[in-house]
Amino acid sequence: MKFIKILFILLFINTFGQKNNDNQLATYDFPKIKSSITMPVTIPLSEISNMINASVKDLVYQDDSYTDNNDDQFKVKVWKTRPIRLVGGTSQNILIEVPLKIWAEKGIGTLGVYTYQNTTFETVMSFNTTLSFKNNWTISTNTQPNGFKWVTKPVLDYGKIKIPITSLVEKSLKEQQEKFCKTIDQQMAAQLNFQQYTVMAWNIFNQPFNISEEYNTWLKVTPITINITPLKFYGNQIDTNIGIDVYSETFTGSKPAASQPVKSATNFNSIPVLADQFSLQTTANIPFTEASAIARKTFLGKEFDVKGSKVKVSDIRVFGIDDRIVIEAQTEGYVKGTSIISGIPVYDEVKKKIVLSNTKFKLKTLNILQKTASLLFQGKIVKMIEEEYGIPTQELEDNSKKSIEEAFNKEYYKGLKMNGKVFNLKPTKILLSSTGITAVIDTNATLKLIINGL
């Protein structure tokens, strides 16, 4: 079950990285976000077949005594000629076919004098196994014999006398088939017990992950509940959906404490349907130092006209007060002073930027005459800020989408392959702290797990 650890590392990684080493955020309590992941899981029947074939030796049964079974004067050996084949049924069952080669030798005579003749023939032994996934992470199977199909019937050839021994062989094989049913159930119960792997994975999640050494940022993932849909059987595979409800928390500064380890896995819930896509929320941190750098690059040295005279932006910085982003611009020329434009940050999906809404304006200047022109100046500078200023996210969104899809389409552990696609990734909610901007990012994606070659 290593794929679970890998999955969580990939899904909750902070996808919006920063570039400036001086732009560290102070310690801040990010929101505790509840997310749900829906993951279709495909188990090829060939995997179960490989497991059964590995547990069943080529020599299935051997009777080397003439005198056992009430002195039946009969020996028999049974081999598996080809790999055991599994086919999905229609009622949560698996049909199992075991191709066999049988060597038999029978003695004919009286008073202890016997003539022996042997023969070799082939048959296909059939089983029907019903399979259910218990909510304590174990698989329960019930295997029943489903008869024989003779390829060639057993006949002892004594020249003029030909003795069919089908009944003798079938009697022995039926006894062994009953034992073989128990072997199949025991092997499946032992090999398909996921309890220990679930405990291991659950405790791994409880350990915080360092997702950014540069910004000393930690991610803590806490699984809450797991939901699983009923197993669906097809001709060559078993399908199910796993839904995982989790809390993800982001921390900066010191490593947060791990949750208490569990000793037994929580039972999962069986539900009829899960959505094909899952929604996931992560957070991205943008320090005000970086927001200020974007503003300086956009506006520093910029000039515009007010009543035929020039006004030039000589300095600018960005910070936050309560729920508003504040842009403080120093101007010189016709209007010399400090313009303070504040607004509520929102994500503009068309511009692919975090922009300001519901803006307010205030001008600080010692020149009374300039204050009389503040309305015209206000209209010009506020319009410029609203139209041109924004924290771009397009490149970050594209890179994040690309990196997540690359992570979703790899084989991280031999035999466990993931296949996924991100349909939508965008900031939705903008939060402010004293040192920066936190964007809550919604991701819609599909993810499929294919088990092959374990």
Residue-level pLDDT, tens digit, the chain, 454 residues: 333 333 333 333 333 333 333 334 444 455 677 777 777 777 788 877 887 787 777 887 788 877 777 777 778 888 889 988 888 887 788 898 989 898 878 777 777 777 777 888 898 989 999 988 888 888 888 999 998 888 888 887 767 777 787 877 777 778 878 888 887 788 778 767 777 767 776 776 677 866 656 556 676 777 788 888 888 888 788 888 878 787 777 676 678 888 888 888 788 888 888 777 766 666 677 888 888 988 898 889 988 887 778 889 999 999 999 999 999 999 888 888 898 999 999 999 888 889 999 999 888 877 655 555 567 777 888 888 888 888 887 776 776 677 667 767 777 556 667 778 888 888 888 888 888 888 877 878 777 766 665 5
Answer yes or no: are the C-beta atoms of 152 and 124 closer than 8 Å.
Answer: no
* Type of residue at 29: D
Answer yes or no: are the C-beta atoms of 51 and 320 closer than 8 Å.
Answer: no
**In a domain? residue 201:** no
**In a domain? residue 402:** no
**In a domain? residue 406:** no
**In a domain? residue 198:** no
**In a domain? residue 58:** yes
**In a domain? residue 140:** yes
Parent domain of 66: 45-191
Phi-psi map region of 131: left, alpha, beta (phi>0 left; psi -120 to 50 alpha): beta
Alpha-carbon distance 140 to 160, whole Å?
Answer: 52
Answer yes or no: are the C-beta atoms of 385 and 295 closer than 8 Å.
Answer: no
Helix (H), strand (E) at residue 190: helix 166-191
Domain count, the chain: 1
**In a domain? residue 51:** yes
**In a domain? residue 313:** no
Buried b / exposed e over 17-53, threshold 16 CB at 10 Å, is: bbeeeebbbeebebeebebbbbbbbbbbbbbbbbbbb
